[in-house]
């Protein structure tokens, strides 16, 4: 029997492809997977363990347990101020919230605007809905921030959704306040929804963070996506959430009931505890990422032929190697594979983040300073050994 067209056509993420390749090698320095190298702060683990031990091993309400939706509501009291009963859905990671948001908003043939380079999963997630992706570039000369005019021009009567991601994976770009305002001015009048993926919003380094939802009329037409993975180093807990209007949330929850169904109570209670008690731990991790960001920036500056637009958030460096790739005739995938085989450094080709990523490679610097120094020294050696 033929498998479904959906299953056959869906590509895997190039991040995992590089990661898996590296697993077959020894002495590699891996800059691939975008997850904190920190373990979840201990008090959060202790809190969750208490509830596992107490026998909380049963199904839970589909939209999340009240303790967590109330904690999320309190955490957002000064911005989105969502009603915990009707405006929040807890999901299996932010990943599932985005998928459910898309399933709620789009039908096959509708258009979804995506700013690229972008997190690879968006391509698959939009693909699973049967919608058409309209890519809008995030240009390096514009600090990888989307140009509101590009978005205005890309909107057609078929456009249902614009996905925004700030801080961005893979570029580390943070949409500045002025651009956010301009984007709001473009989007406010349009019959489109925004999915605003803000899972990295606690990890910004140079200026205060602005959310598109802070502008008049935008809260009402945005599905805000939040998460615990990056904020509290809880990637393996698989918890995220969406905040939106009651109509959207009730429909997303119907879909979620048929997918992930619900999340474990102890994990949710751990996440509630994290929001209530562990904000200082985020700051400790942020300081550490900031030091690494500065280190990686200064090390890349010392390597002729590659360059880095200083990332302002998340924990990614999107390195421009266009000059070398053009001179050697390699595309970004060939470049990263060649570097892996010769120098045992694993990076992710820019093309894996959409066509606008060609000419670049991504480094995740959520790793130790020692790894960063060793990895960058190997990259330097590799680049110097090339004939260009």
Residues forming the site for ligand PLP (CB under 6 A): 34, 93-95, 119, 165, 169, 197, 199, 227, 229, 235, 240
Closer residue to ligand PLP in complex, CB, 92/379: 92
| Residue 330 or 366 having the CB closest to ligand PLP | 366
In terms of CB distance, is 193 or 241 closer to ligand PLP?
241
| Both tokens assigned to 352 | 């894996």
Dihedral over Cα of 377, 378, 379, 384: its sign:
positive
Question: In the chain, what is the greatest distance between 2 CA atoms, to the nearest angstrom?
Answer: 63
Are the C-beta atoms of residues 315 and 366 closer than 8 Å to each other?
yes
Cα Rg, the chain, nearest whole Å? 21
Q: Which is nearer to ligand PLP, 227 or 270 (CB)?
A: 227
Using alpha carbons, list the distances in angstroms from residue 193 to 113, 147, 184, 186: 10, 18, 11, 12
Exposure string over 176-204, b if 16+ CB within 10 A, otherwise e = beebbbbbbebbeeeebbbbbbbbbbbbb
Q: Are 221 and 193 in contact (CB under 8 A)?
A: yes
Q: Rank residues 309 and 380 by Cβ distance to ligand PLP and give the closer one.
A: 309
Of 97, 122, 105, 130, the closest CA to residue 256 belongs to 97
Write down the least CB distance from residue 285 to ligand PLP, Å: 15
Least separation in angstroms between residue 267's CB and ligand PLP is: 12
Residue whose beta carbon is closest to ligand PLP:
93
Question: What are the structure tokens assigned to 354, written together?
Answer: 């959409």
Structure letter (DSSP) for residue 35: S
Which residues, in sequence order, are bridge partners of residue 224? 196, 243
CB of 275 to ligand PLP, least distance (A): 15
CB of 240 to ligand PLP, least distance (A): 4
Residue at token pair 């993975």: 229
Q: Is the peptide bond before 167 cis (omega within 30 degrees of 0)?
A: yes
Find the shortest distance in angstroms from Cβ 199 to ligand PLP.
Answer: 5
The DSSP H or E segment spanning 112 is: strand 111-116
Pair 117, 138: CB distance under 8 Å? yes
Q: Which is nearer to ligand PLP, 13 or 377 (CB)?
A: 13
Which of 240, 375 has the CB closer to ligand PLP? Answer: 240
Instruction: Give the nearest distance from C-beta 382 to ligand PLP in angstroms.
Output: 26
- Least CB distance to ligand PLP at residue 296 (A): 18
* Least distance CB 94 / ligand PLP (angstroms): 3
d(CA 315, CA 29): 16
Name the 3-class secondary structure at 262.
coil
- Using the minimum distance from each CB to ligand PLP, give the nearer residue, 95 or 251: 95
């Amino acid at each position: 029997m033929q498998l479904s067209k959906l299953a056959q056509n869906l590509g895997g993420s190039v991040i995992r492809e590089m990661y898996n390749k590296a697993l077959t090698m020894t002495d590699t320095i891996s800059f691939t997977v975008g997850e904190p190298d920190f373990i979840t702060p201990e008090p959060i683990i202790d809190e969750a363990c208490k509830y596992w031990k107490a026998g909380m091993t049963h199904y839970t309400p589909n939209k999340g347990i009240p303790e967590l939706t109330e904690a999320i509501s309190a955490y957002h009291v000064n911005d989105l101020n969502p009603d915990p009963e009707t405006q929040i859905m807890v999901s299996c990671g932010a990943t599932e919230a985005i998928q459910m948001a898309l399933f709620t908003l789009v039908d096959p043939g509708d258009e979804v605007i995506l700013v690229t380079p972008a997190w690879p999963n968006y391509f698959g997630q939009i693909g699973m809905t049967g919608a058409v992706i309209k890519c809008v570039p995030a240009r390096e000369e514009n600090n990888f921030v989307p140009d509101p005019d590009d978005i205005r021009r890309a909107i057609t009567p078929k456009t249902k959704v614009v996905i925004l991601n700030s801080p961005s994976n893979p570029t580390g770009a943070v949409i500045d306040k002025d651009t956010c305002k301009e984007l709001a001015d473009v989007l406010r009048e349009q019959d489109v929804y925004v999915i605003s993926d803000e899972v990295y919003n606690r990890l910004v380094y140079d200026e205060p963070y602005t959310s598109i939802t802070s502008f008049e009329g935008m809260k009402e037409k945005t599905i805000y996506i939040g998460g615990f993975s990056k904020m509290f180093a809880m990637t393996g807990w698989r918890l995220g959430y969406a905040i939106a209007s009651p109509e959207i949330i009730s429909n997303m929850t119907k879909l979620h009931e048929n997918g992930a169904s619900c999340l474990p109570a102890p994990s949710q209670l751990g996440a509630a505890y994290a929001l209530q008690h562990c904000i200082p731990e985020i700051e400790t991790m942020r300081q550490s990422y900031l030091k690494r960001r500065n280190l990686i920036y200064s090390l890349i500056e010392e390597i002729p032929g590659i360059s880095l637009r200083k990332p302002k958030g998340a924990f990614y460096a999107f390195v421009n190697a266009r000059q070398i790739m053009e001179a050697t005739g390699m595309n970004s995938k060939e470049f990263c594979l060649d570097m892996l085989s010769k120098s045992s450094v694993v990076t992710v080709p820019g093309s894996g983040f959409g066509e606008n990523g060609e000419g670049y490679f991504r480094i995740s610097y959520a790793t130790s300073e020692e790894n960063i120094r060793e990895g960058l020294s190997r990259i330097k050696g590799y680049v110097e050994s090339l004939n260009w």
